[in-house]
Chains A and B, each alone.
Chain A
């Protein structure tokens, strides 16, 4: 049975495009134009993944409210924010609310699909035993590719899919400098340099929040970043 995805987007044309594309990818997508409409529908049945636009009609931050509502209902429901506003503020706010990823509307449908697939894969892998897991370990770091989990000293770092992909890129070849283009490609991300910087910054923060002496991600000025084991 196809997985159900809800798209909450006030712009009907985009909504239609997304719904059609996701349906074509084999999901059962359903679009909602407003927060109220979505809330009503979610009250009856929760979808398996929700894509939310931050600005909903008259509510510039309606998406955040909806996200909060949903998190209250389910801690594990994958939520992707989608917005035209790609400023850092929105990014941080969205993630603090517990979104699993954040994408700009620039993102192509293909990239969106990749993320959706990754999120579902993660959910699947969490259900299965860890036997088949591909694990990369570097000192205190333990990276589980399938489950898209990163553990530092055995503590899970709550990374989004995009962030996980970035860390994965860095960790796969420790000591190699990855420039921004490479990171962007690996993370299936279409953003600019500044956004990469803020992603890296946020990843560091997430590590530091749980391991104050974390300094494994090194900036190579003028080039990019590398993982120092």
Chain B
């Protein structure tokens, strides 16, 4: 991982900023919502209390019958088809009966559906009626109550007979319709609203299920939607809130207010992006269900159920209008510790609270900008750092390739920071290394220069000794001394040869010549020296003109040939090849022989590196300068020297590009 990538990664830390902001805004949003909910609960509670206090017609506690309002005419026929729209809110009774109560302007309709797979049939007038399947219906108006026996042996019209003594305006018989099918029976009848019934009782007696009290009926108060209560709560309700009063069984008793929201001007409407951001980042989850509870007579909502247990509750749900939410708060109406009903306050609001959204947007934009700026600054910084480090590295590598010497000043040494320190350290280090390398390089030639004088003394002394009339037995010693001096002289000369060669090569002058001629001439010359080794020459047929120093080329070839000859076994092959290339020419000298050791490949052309075994006594010392000269020559011609193993031998190649042409002054 590069420094730049690392710094970019570090820059990601600034992402913590928007995350923290997001958490904050979210919390703020939650708090706002909670506050809103609490306020609504408080006003609901207030309303519940005031309803009790103003003695509004609040629903009674305990079970009750709810009379639904019907808008369609209902025929008394014993079939529930015309009650289909009301049947979802049929009130179950006992284990096996469902009751639908409905009213229109004049009548109160009763529809009782009993599941009774096993029937025992008798007419109400039958004396066995009480021991057959039958219904007991009780009604009350004010203080008057009456019970009726309703039974029929066959489907069709029937009459419910009063069981009790005459009671005020209540009729002593009720015409009803009785219908049956395999699974049970149904009875339907109606009573005029003029009776002002306030209670209704029912006893379902199916003999097959066991019936011990054939005359009982469970009486419950009758409830219906109360316009007067609606008016009352309309007065009490706060603005912009829909108030509903629900009975103990969650039946809708009164309602006031609407869930409508005024339309926002187009400019203030949240865009789709803001909505998306809000929904995906901020919104708490809405309670999913119950849009259908809108026009229902019974409001079966979780918060209502909760309130019916005596605990206030709130819920957020999607509103009817798109992009709106509804906050619902339900509190029980309690009279002397008994829950009589629930006040349900519903407050519509925008799904995307603009305040929170704007805050979030501002935050997001700011932190994004900060992130960009921080990232950009860090990237710039990292880039600059990287560039500087790269410059330093390149300079160091260049210096290293160049034996510790760098052309020009070391970069960054003026910098005041740690990189500057590093650069100065490098510069000092390379100064030292360069000095040391220079010292090593010149050591040999300095040493040879210093050795020349004592050598000359010994040599001239020996020359003089020749004429000093030595005894004959001293002659061999003199010869040996002379031999030793000669070798010492050769050694000294070899030591300074590198420097001399460098100087000679640097001073060499180039001319335009045919390389093929030079190589051919050299090859011809070498043939006398190869002995029984075979020397092949591969030369192009066309002249290869280049701007080179022929002496240097020949000299380099001499060295290469010398090198090749010493490694080629007797009877082996050697090959000189000249190949023109796109940029210049390659001269290759290949020979049979042992492969180059891998460890030496890179240093083969360095000064004082030799692959040869130690020189045998009597040979001229070998200081490994030959290939170094080859390299110098190649470099003088803007090329390079390389060596590689080929099948059965090695190949040394001079890649030449020609010497730069000097401008004629």
| A→B interface (CB under 8 Å) | 11, 13-14, 17-18, 20-21, 24, 84-85, 87-89, 105-106, 108-110, 192-194, 197-198, 219-223
Contact = CB atoms under 8 A, between A and B. Distances in A.
3 pairs of A and B residues whose beta carbons are closest in the complex: A222-B525, A222-B522, A84-B452
B489 A11 contact: no
A222 B561 CA distance: 10
16 contacts: A14-B453, A24-B464, A84-B449, A88-B504, A88-B507, A89-B503, A108-B459, A194-B497, A219-B554, A220-B525, A221-B519, A221-B522, A222-B521, A222-B522, A222-B524, A223-B521
B521 A194 contact: no
A24 B467 CA distance: 9
B493 A110 contact: no
Contacts of A84: 449, 452-453, 456
A87 B524 contact: no
B503 A219 contact: no
B550 A221 contact: yes
A17 B452 contact: no
Given A105-B459, A221-B518, 13 more contacts: A14-B460, A17-B461, A18-B460, A88-B500, A89-B503, A192-B497, A194-B504, A197-B504, A220-B521, A220-B525, A221-B521, A221-B522, A222-B524
A197 B551 contact: yes
B464 A21 contact: yes
A14 B455 CA distance: 10
Contacts of B489: 106
Nearest to A195: B500
Interface string B490-533: 00010001001101100100000000011101111110000000
B534 interface: no
A17 B503 contact: no
Contacts of A197: 504, 551
B500 A87 contact: yes
B457 A17 contact: yes
Given A11-B453, A17-B461, A222-B557, A88 B522 contact: no
A84 B526 CA distance: 33
Contacts of A221: 517-519, 521-522, 525, 550, 553-554, 557
Contacts of A219: 550-551, 554
Contacts of A24: 464, 467
A222 B551 contact: no
Contacts of A222: 521-526, 554, 557-558, 561
Contacts of A11: 453, 456-457
Contacts of B555: 193
A17 B463 contact: yes
A43 to B, nearest CB: 28
Contacts of A89: 503
Contacts of A194: 497, 500-501, 504
Nearest to B452: A84
A198 B459 contact: no
A105 B526 contact: no
Contacts of B551: 197, 219
Interface in B398-457: 449, 452-453, 455-457
Nearest to B493: A192
Given A14-B453, A222-B558, A21 B503 contact: no
B460 A21 contact: yes
A20 B457 CA distance: 13
B401 to A, nearest CB: 28
Contacts of A20: 464
Interface string B528-557: 000000000000000000000011011101
Contacts of B452: 84, 105-106
A64 B523 CA distance: 43
B463 A109 contact: yes
A13 B521 CA distance: 47
A106 B522 contact: no
Nearest to A10: B453
B504 A198 contact: yes
A150 B519 CA distance: 33
B558 A14 contact: no
A7 to B, nearest CB: 11
Given A21-B463, A221-B554, A85 B449 contact: yes
Contacts of A13: 457, 461
B484 to A, nearest CB: 15
Nearest to A104: B452
B455 A105 contact: yes
Contacts of B519: 221
B186 to A, nearest CB: 131
A20 B554 CA distance: 43
Contacts of B518: 221
Contacts of A220: 521, 525
A14 B463 contact: no
A192 B460 CA distance: 20
Nearest to B518: A221
Contacts of A108: 459, 463
A106 B459 contact: yes
Given A21-B464, A219-B551, A105 B456 contact: yes
A13 to B, nearest CB: 5
B563 to A, nearest CB: 14
Contacts of B561: 222
B418 to A, nearest CB: 47
A194 B508 CA distance: 11
A86 to B, nearest CB: 8
Nearest to B460: A17
A93 to B, nearest CB: 14
B466 to A, nearest CB: 9
Nearest to B457: A13
Contact of A110 (B456, B461, B463, B504): B463
Nearest to B497: A192
Contacts of A223: 521, 524-525
A189 to B, nearest CB: 13
A109 B464 contact: yes
